[in-house]
Structure 1
Amino acid sequence: MLVVFAHSGTGSTVATLHRGDGVVLQLPGYDRRHRVPHDLAHFATERTLGMPGGVFGSIAAGAVFSNMRLMSGHPRHDAAARSKLILDANKHALSVAEALAGVIHHAVETGVPDQALPLARKAWDSRETDGFPWTGDQVTGAVRLLTDMSAEFEATGTVRATWPADLTAAPPPPRGVRRGRRGRT
């Protein structure tokens, strides 16, 4: 999925997402007060940490958040139901992604990258009981990617990035659908 981050007319950012199914969506940002776009932080964090259930992996799978707008293409006949299933299935993963993207965003925004790892561990521990699944190098990699992407955004006003297909959330099976053969009478 191609994602293009650009300045919007409101002084914030907008991400234009070109999904593999031909649908093009816009995701507005609400970050006028930040130098680093928050959605860019989601992209860098979720991609580097391999989080398919986050914002971008969910969108690639067919999720549409309520603030998104269809720009072109023809959504599936069951797009709304599919989106709801994906968002429901990824509710917890989206919460974790929000917390971790917030930490990485803060580290780059404030220029204090050495705080990213302890804050990421703390954010993880507030939501999970399992051990922290990423290495310090992975967290540093997320900070580095966001630093590079935000520098490009500041210099050019646009960042083009590709969301990897292997980080697309697995869509859950539709509810209430029975599979298999019916018995004969």
Structure 2
Amino acid sequence: MHLTFEHDPRGESRTLIRRADGAEFELTSYSRKHAVPHDLVHAVVERELGIPDGIYGCIAAGAVFSSMTQTGGKKRRDAKVRSARILEVARGIGISETLVGVFFWAYERGRAPQAEVRKAWGVSNPGACPYGDERITRTADVLGEVGATWQASAEPLVFPWPTNLLASDGQSSVRRARGRTGRVARA
């Protein structure tokens, strides 16, 4: 998947998305009051922390959100069903939203996010936070670099998305459960 973040003349931003299947979308961001677009913070946090079923991992797998407009490529005949299937099993979107809020807060205030990330994790997830201080610091550093680049130039910002960072399509467990007849095996 290929992401390009563009400055919008109205002070907003928009994300141009070209998926591996050839579908192209535009995602408009509404974060005028912030130094860095919310959607760009999502991309940084999800990529750096390796959240496969966050917003962009879901999009890479075939999900389409209501805030997206298809601008090119063929529309899949099963696009709505596939999108719903992906979003039904995605658990990382809520985690991503929570962590993006923390990194956004830390970036805007010039603060270190480690303790806040651990606290935010504990509010909605059982067990210890899986991200150590080094990884959290690296994510904050990358956000700082990307944010500085965004603010310094009106040029589009190209953001590489890893090919292996995508959500499950909800079908792999069904495929494994199928017998030779092609039907789902029942216990």
Aligned equivalents of 1:147 and 1:75: distance in 2?
A: 36
Aligned equivalents of 1:9 and 1:65: distance in 2?
A: 23
Aligned equivalents of 1:100 and 1:7: distance in 2?
A: 24
Say which is worse superposed, 6-15 or 25-34, in terms of deviation. Answer: 6-15
Q: CA deviation at 1:182?
A: 7.2
Aligned equivalents of 2:75 and 2:133: distance in 1?
A: 40
Say which is worse superposed, 125-134 or 9-18, in terms of deviation. Answer: 9-18
In structure 2, the CA distance between the partners of 1:79 and 1:36, relative to structure 1 (3 Å rule), is same
Alignment match of 1:128 (pick from 117, 125, 129): 125
Q: CA deviation at 1:77?
A: 1.4
Q: CA deviation at 1:89?
A: 1.0
- Corresponding residue for residue 109 of structure 2: 110
Pairing of 1:11-160 with structure 2 (within 5 A): 11-90=11-90, 92-112=91-111, 114=112, 116-157=113-154, 158-160=156-158
Structure 2 runs not aligned, ≥5 long: none
Aligned equivalents of 1:97 and 1:182: distance in 2?
A: 36
Say how many residue pairs are matched. 180
Structure 1 runs not aligned, ≥5 long: none
Aligned equivalents of 2:43 and 2:182: distance in 1?
A: 45
Query: What one-letter code is carried by the residue in structure 1 that aligns with 2:153?
Result: T
Provide the TM-score with structure 1 as the length reference.
Answer: 0.91
Secondary structure in 2 matching 1:167: coil
Aligned equivalents of 1:182 and 1:117: distance in 2?
A: 48
Secondary structure in 1 matching 2:157: strand
Aligned equivalents of 1:10 and 1:73: distance in 2?
A: 27
Query: What one-letter code is carried by the residue in structure 1 that aligns with 2:79?
Result: A
Provide the TM-score with structure 2 as the length reference.
Answer: 0.90
Secondary structure in 2 matching 1:60: helix
- Runs of 4+ in structure 1 off by over 4 angstroms are none
Query: What one-letter code is carried by the residue in structure 1 that aligns with 2:3?
Result: V
Contact 1:60 1:169 in 2 (8 A): yes
